[in-house]
Structure 1
Amino acid sequence: MRCQPHSPHQVYNWLKNKQACLLCDEAADGTLPICTNCEAELPWLSGHCQVCALPLPSHGLVCGGCLKKPPSFTKVEVPWRYAFPIDSLITRFKHQAKWPLGRLLGELLSHHLRHAFDDGLRKPDLLLPVPLADKRQRQRGFNQASLLGEWLSPPLQLPLQKDWLQRVIDTPAQQQLDAATRKRNLRKAFALAPGSQVSGLHVALVDDVLTTGATAESLAHLLKKAGAARVDVYCLARTPKPGD
C-alpha cells in the first residue's frame, strides 16, 4: 500500500487494519504483518544458557563459559536463534534499510519481553541502545539498536536513553572476528556521556544480535563500574557456537 500516492517509493502503512505477511505475502491473522504459520516457523530459542542465552541441548543450564567466568551482565533475553529466516530479516533491516522488517521484529521482541516480565523477569528502569561509531552511523544512516529501542520503549513502558552510551573509538567490523579479537578491539571503545546517571539503576542494553557477547560484556562492565545495580541484554537473536 502506498500512503504517499505521488511518490515513486512505496512506504509501508503500519496502521492498516488488514495486514499482509511480510514473509509470505499471505493475509496476516492479527495486527502485525506476519501470519500464524510464518511466526510459528521462526527459529524460536528453546534450550539455552540461563545467563548468556547460548543455545544448549536442554533448559535450565548455564554454559561452561558463564560458569568459568561470569559476565558483567546478569541475563540475556532473546526470542530467536540466529538462523533462517531471522538472519536474513536482520541483515535486510540493518544493511538494506528495510525498516518494516525491523519494526516487525521489534514488535515481536516486545511481545516476548512482556511475556518474560509476566513470568518473573525483573523489569529494568530504562533501556540503553548499543551505540554505533559516528562514521558507521553516517554510512548506514541509522543505528539499528536505537531504532529497536524506540520500538520497544512505548509497549514496554520503559524510558529510552539513546545518548547515554557513546562509542568513542571506531573499531573494525566485528562479524567475522573471534571472541578474543573482538574483546581486544573493544577495549576503551565505549564511554558514558557526561551527565548520565546510572548509579543504582537496573538497565537493559538493546541490540540486534548477540554473537560472542564481547560488546555486551564491555558495555556491562562500563555500566557496573559507573554504579549500575544490574545490566541485562535484550536482543533479537543469539548465535550458536560455531559448528552447532
Structure 2
Amino acid sequence: MHCQPHHKGQVYIWLKNNQLCLLCGEASDTQLPICTPCESELPWLGDACQICALPLPINGLTCGQCLKVPPAFTQVVAPWTYGFPIDSLITRFKHSANWPYGHLLAELFVQSLHFRFSEDLPRPCALIPVPLSRKRLRRRGFNQAAMLARWLSDNLEIACDEQLVIRTQDTSAQQDLNAKARQHNLRRAFALHPQATIRGRHLALVDDVLTTGATARTLARLLMDAGASRVDVYCLARTAKPGDPA
C-alpha cells in the first residue's frame, strides 16, 4: 500500500458492492458506503445566501456581508452545513488521514454537483484546490483540498490544476482567528504561477470548509484581477454565522 496521495494506484479498496455504512455500520442499500437513512439525515444545506451560501432563514436572499463587501467569487456551492456528523467526518479525513471518509463525501458532492449542473450551474474550466502551507503540509502529509479536487475532477471530467495558485507564505491557522484577523493573515500569502493561464477562464476553488470566506475572497480576487471570467467556490460544508444554531 502506498500512503502518498500522489500515487496513481489505489490507496484503499473502493468496491461498489456489499458496502457497509461508514456511519451506522449496517449494510448499505446503495453503491456507496452510506445507507439511505443516514444519507437523508446529513445536515444538508437548505436556505442560504445566494452568493456565499451562509445559512439564512429564507432562500433567495443575500447576506449582509456580501451586500456590504461583495466578494470576487460569484457563488459558493456546498452540499452541507458544518454540523454533525459532517464535521466529524471532515475532521477524521483532514486530521487523521481517514481518506475513506473524504472519498465518501466527495462522491456525494459529485452527485450534488451533477444535479446542479443539470439545473443552471455553469461548469467551470478547471478546479483549483486551495494550497496548504508548507508547514502544515509537512505535518499532515497531504492537502485535503487537493485530494478533494482530484476526486471531483475524476468524476466530473473537469481538469484539476494544482499548480496554478502557489502558497508563498506560511500563515497562522485560520480557525484560531476572527474574520478581520483572517483577512489580514492572508495578505501576500498567495501568488499565481508565472506561467498560469487565467484570462477568460471560469475557475472553481476547492476546499473542505468555508467559515468566514477570507481565503476564498483572497484567492478569488487574485484570479479575477488576473483576468478570470468567473470564480466559484466548491466546498463540502458551510459554517453557520457565529451564534446561530448549527
Interval containing the TM-score (normalised by the shorter chain): over 0.9
Paired letter, 2:224: K
What is the alpha-carbon root mean square deviation over aligned residues?
1.2
Quote the Cα distance in structure 1 between the aligned partners of 2:27 and 2:12.
15
Post-superposition CA distance 1:113-160 (Å, at most 9, x none): 111111100111110000001221111000000000010002211000
Q: What is the DSSP-based 3-state SS (H/G/I as helix, E as strand, rest coil) of the residue aligned with 1:138? A: helix
Quote the Cα distance in structure 1 between the aligned partners of 2:117 and 2:87.
26
Q: What is the DSSP-based 3-state SS (H/G/I as helix, E as strand, rest coil) of the residue aligned with 1:34? A: coil
Please report how far the alpha carbon of residue 62 of structure 1 lies from its aligned counterpart in structure 2 after TM superposition: 0.6
Q: Which runs of 5+ in 1 are unaligned?
A: 3-10
Q: Does 1:108 align with 2:108?
A: yes
Please report how far the alpha carbon of residue 18 of structure 1 lies from its aligned counterpart in structure 2 after TM superposition: 1.0
Residue 204 (structure 1) aligns with: 204
Residue 52 (structure 2) aligns with: 52
Quote the Cα distance in structure 2 between the aligned partners of 1:162 and 1:18.
34
Residue 7 (structure 2) aligns with: none
Residue 230 (structure 1) aligns with: 230
Paired letter, 2:175: Q
Paired letter, 2:177: L
Q: Does 1:243 align with 2:227?
A: no
Please report how far the alpha carbon of residue 174 of structure 1 lies from its aligned counterpart in structure 2 after TM superposition: 0.6
Paired letter, 1:115: F
Runs of 4 or more, structure 1, over 4 Å off, are none
Please report how far the alpha carbon of residue 16 of structure 1 lies from its aligned counterpart in structure 2 after TM superposition: 4.4
Percent identity over the alignment is 62
Residue 121 (structure 1) aligns with: 121
Please report how far the alpha carbon of residue 92 of structure 1 lies from its aligned counterpart in structure 2 after TM superposition: 0.5
Q: TM-score, normalised by structure 2?
A: 0.94
Residue 63 (structure 2) aligns with: 63
Residue 156 (structure 2) aligns with: 156
- Once the two structures are superposed, the pairs formed by residues 138-217 of structure 1 within 5 Å of their partners are 138-217=138-217
Please report how far the alpha carbon of residue 12 of structure 1 lies from its aligned counterpart in structure 2 after TM superposition: 4.4
| 2:16–2:32 contact (8 Å) kept in structure 1 | no
Quote the Cα distance in structure 2 between the aligned partners of 1:17 and 1:35.
13
- Once the two structures are superposed, the pairs formed by residues 81-96 of structure 1 within 5 Å of their partners are 81-96=81-96
Please report how far the alpha carbon of residue 13 of structure 1 lies from its aligned counterpart in structure 2 after TM superposition: 2.0
Post-superposition CA distance 1:17-54 (Å, at most 9, x none): 11100111111111110000100000000010000000
Q: What is the DSSP-based 3-state SS (H/G/I as helix, E as strand, rest coil) of the residue aligned with 2:159? A: coil
| 2:165–2:190 contact (8 Å) kept in structure 1 | yes
Q: What is the DSSP-based 3-state SS (H/G/I as helix, E as strand, rest coil) of the residue aligned with 2:207? A: strand
